[in-house]
Chains A and B, each alone.
Chain A
Amino acid sequence: MLECRSVTKKFGDFKALDNVSIEAERGRVFGLLGPNGAGKTTLIRIINRITIPTDGEVIYDGRLMNDDMVREIGYLPEERGLYKKMKVGEQAIYLARLKGLSMSEAKKELKEWFVKFGIQSWWDKKVEELSKGMAQKVQFITTVLHKPSLLILDEPFSGFDPVNVQIIRNEILRMKDEGATIILSTHNMESVEELCDDIALINHAKLVVSGPTGEIRRKYGSNQVEVLYRSTDPLTTWSKYFTISLDEEYKHLRRAVLDVEDGAGAQQILPELLKSVDIASYRELVPRMNDIFIKLVSEK
C-alpha cells in the first residue's frame, strides 16, 4: 500500500501541493485526477523521489520510501522519451539495470516481453527508426520489465491505436490481479470509469475528494431516477422522497426525471408512483465521471 501523508510542496512562494494525503491499495487501480497544473505531476514526482516534499512523507508498505525502493516502482511519465540513437534492446537493458536488475536478468525478462508483444525484430533497431506508437510500446515494456509492485502510469494510453490500447489495458489489469498497486493519472474519464477502483481529485494543489469510485459517483452524482410510465397526463404525485424535475412525452409513453432526496430509494419511491400510474421502466441515472469531474473542478 502506498500512502502520502500530508504532502506539501512549495516552490518559493508557490504552493504546488498543499497538505495532500492519499492511500492507494494493493491489487487496485488508483486514479489520480485533476485539471492541468493542479499538482498531479508534482505528486507523482514526489512519490518517485525525483522531488523531495517540503513537508509530509511517502510511505510504501509501511516503510518510509527510500532509494532502495526504486526497483519496486515502474514509472511511465506523461512526456515519453528514449535515446533516439540507441538500439531498442540495448536501451531497455540499460534502463532495467538502472532499476537494479542484472544484465542477464534484464536480457531474459526483455526477451520474454518481446516475444509476448511479437516485436523480436525490433531488438537491434534504433529508436529513431520506430514509429511513435512502436516507441511507446517499447517504453511501456521498459516501465514494467523489472516487475514493479508500484506502477505509476501518466496517461498510459495516449499515442496508442485502439488495438494497442486494449493490449496495454489488459496488461494493467493483469498486474493489478497479481497484486500491484497501480496509480493511473489521466484525463480520459472513460478509462477512469473502466479501470479505477479508487480515485482522488486534486485541484489548485489541494485534495478535493478521494475514495472508491462507486462511492464518489453516488456522493457527487445528482442522484436522479428516470421513470417511464403509461399515461397521457403528467405526474401529479407529491412525495417527500422526491421532486419532479422533468416530465415529457416519450415515444408512446411519458418520461419523468425525479430528483431523489438523500436516503430515499426505489423502495420508497416506487410505491408512491404506483398509486397513480402504470410504470414501464425505473432506472437510476448514474452520473458520468466526466460530469463529476467538471462539477467538482468548476465549483472551486
Chain B
Amino acid sequence: MNFNKIGIILGREFSVRVKKKSFILTTILTPILMAALFIVPTVLMVVGGKDTEKVMVQDNSGIVAPYLESSSTAEYIIAPEGSTLEQLKADFNNLDVYALVGISELDSSNNVQAVAYSAEPLNVDIKSDISRKVNKAVETMKLSLYNITDLDRILEEVRSDVQITTLTLTEKGEKEESTEIYMALSYIMSFLIYMFIFMFGNMVMRGVIEEKSGRIVEVIVSSVKSVELMIGKILGVALVAITQFLIWVVLTLILVMVAGFLLGGDLVGTMESAEVAGMGSILKGISEVRFGYVITCFLIYFVLGYLLYAGMFAAVGAAVDNEADTGQLSIPITVPLILGLFLMIPTFQNPTGQLAFWSSIIPFTSPMVMMARIPFGVVPFWELALSIILLLATALLMAVISAKIYKVGILTYGKKASFKDLWKWIKTKN
C-alpha cells in the first residue's frame, strides 16, 4: 500500500469536487434554507399577522350571535334584521364580506345546522373558528337547560390542564427528560446519516463510472494499485462530505445568530408571550442532551456507515459501463439503507425493544437505527461497543470484497455484469 499515492488521489478527488459549482452552491444555499426555516415563521409572527376577514352571520337560532366575538381571524357581522339567507346569497357580491354563514333554527333536540358560503374555498382557520364558536353556543345553551346553579363557577373549577413531567431514574437520581427533543434529535441524526451515505456513496459510484467509461482508469492502475485508487477515492469523497457538513453546521449557527441579533428583542418577546412553558422545556431539553457523546457517536457511525456502503457503491460502479445499468446491482445497497431508515420509526416508539436492539446491532442498519437510539441515552455500553465493532469488521470485510469486484470490474467492458459475474470476480485470485 503506497500511502503517498493514496494521498495524491485523495487530493484530486477532494479538490475536483469542492471546486465544482454545484458543490459550492449546495454548501452555501442549504444553510440559508435551514436558517430560513427557523427564521421565516418567527418573522412572520413578529411582522405580519394575517388579514382579518369579514364574515356575515344570519342567525336564526337566536343563541349563536352573542358568542361570535370577532378575533384576529374573523370579524363577525350580524346580518341586518329581517333579511333572509336567500336574499343575502343572491346579493353576496355586494355585501363585501369573505363569507356568509347561515345558522338554522333550533331543532327538536336543540341542535343547529350551520352553512357557510364563500367565493373561494373557505379558509381552514375561519372554518374552525366558526365551528368552535357555534359549538360553544350550543353546548352552553344545552347545559343551561339543566338549571344547575353556579354553573360558571363549577365549570371554571372543573377545567384542568395537566402537564406531564417525564423523569428517568438513573443512578444519580431523578432526571427530567424531554422526549420530544430526543425524538427530533434522533430523527435528524438518523436521517442525516442515511442522506449522507446515499449522497456521497452515489458520488463515489459516479466517480468510478466516470473513470471507467472515460477510459482513464487503465492509465491510472498502471501507476497505482486498483485498491489504492479505490481507497483514495472513497476517502477523498468522505473528506468532501465532512467538509460540507462542517460548513453547514457553522454557517447555520452563524445565520441563526445573526438573525436572532437583528430581530433582537422582538424575537425573544414573541417567544415569551407565545409559549413560555413550551419553549422553556425545549430549551431545557436541549441543554440536557449530552452533545459531546451524541456528536462523537454520530461521527463514528457516519464514518463507519459510509465506509461500509461506499465500498459497495464503488464495486457497483466498477461493474457497469454507464450509470443507467446500476439499477439491479445496487439493490443490495439501497434495500438495507432504506430498511434502516424505516426501522427508525419503531425505534422512536420503543428505543429498548427487540427490534430496535437487533437492528442497531446488525451492521447494515445499525448506523441509522443506533443513531435513533443514542439521543435517548438508553444504550448500554456493551451494546454500543458490540454494534461499533461489528460495523467496523463488516466495513473492512466489505472493503476487501468490494476491492476484488472493483479490480476486475474496472477493466471489464461490454458485457453487463450479473450477480453471478460479481461472485466469480470475488473468487478470482489476484
Contact = CB atoms under 8 A, between A and B. Distances in A.
Interface of A: 11-12, 45, 48-52, 67, 70, 73, 75, 77, 79-86, 94-95, 97-99, 139, 142
Q: For chain B, give the interface size range.
A: 20 to 34
Given A70-B223, A83-B214, A98 B5 contact: yes
B162 interface: no
A73 B2 CA distance: 17
A166 to B, nearest CB: 24
B219 interface: yes
Interface string B145-159: 000000000000000
A81 B215 contact: yes
The prevalent SS among residues of A at the interface is: loop
Interface of B: 2, 5, 8-9, 12, 16, 210-211, 214-226, 411, 424, 428, 430
Nearest to B15: A90
Given A77-B219, A98-B8, A98-B9, A50 B411 contact: yes
A82 B8 contact: no
A81 B221 contact: no
Nearest to A80: B215
Given A12-B424, A45-B411, A86-B16, A95 B223 contact: yes
Contacts, number: 60
Contacts of B221: 50
Nearest to B20: A85
A95 B218 CA distance: 12
Nearest to B7: A97
B193 to A, nearest CB: 29
B8 A52 contact: no
B216 A83 contact: yes
Contacts of A12: 424
B215 A98 contact: no
B211 to A, nearest CB: 8
Contact of A84 (B214, B218, B219, B411): B214
A54 B299 CA distance: 43
Contacts of B411: 45, 50-51
Contacts of A77: 215, 218-219, 222
B223 A85 contact: no
Q: Which residue, of B2, B12, B215, B220, has the highest number of chain A Cβ atoms within 10 A?
A: B12
Given A50-B411, A86-B16, A94 B219 contact: no
28 contacts: A48-B222, A49-B222, A50-B218, A50-B221, A50-B222, A51-B411, A51-B430, A52-B430, A67-B225, A73-B222, A75-B218, A75-B219, A77-B215, A77-B218, A79-B218, A80-B215, A81-B219, A82-B214, A82-B216, A83-B210, A85-B16, A94-B12, A95-B219, A95-B220, A98-B5, A98-B223, A99-B223, A142-B219
B292 to A, nearest CB: 39
A139 B8 CA distance: 19
A77 B428 CA distance: 24
A50 B211 CA distance: 16
Contact of B214 (A50, A73, A81): A81
Contacts of B2: 67
Q: Which of A80, A84, A98, A99 has the most CB of B within 10 A?
A: A98
A99 B223 CA distance: 6
Given A81-B217, A83-B211, A139-B219, 8 more contacts: A50-B226, A75-B219, A77-B218, A82-B214, A82-B216, A83-B210, A84-B214, A98-B9
A86 B216 CA distance: 12
A77 B16 CA distance: 24
B337 to A, nearest CB: 28
B22 to A, nearest CB: 12
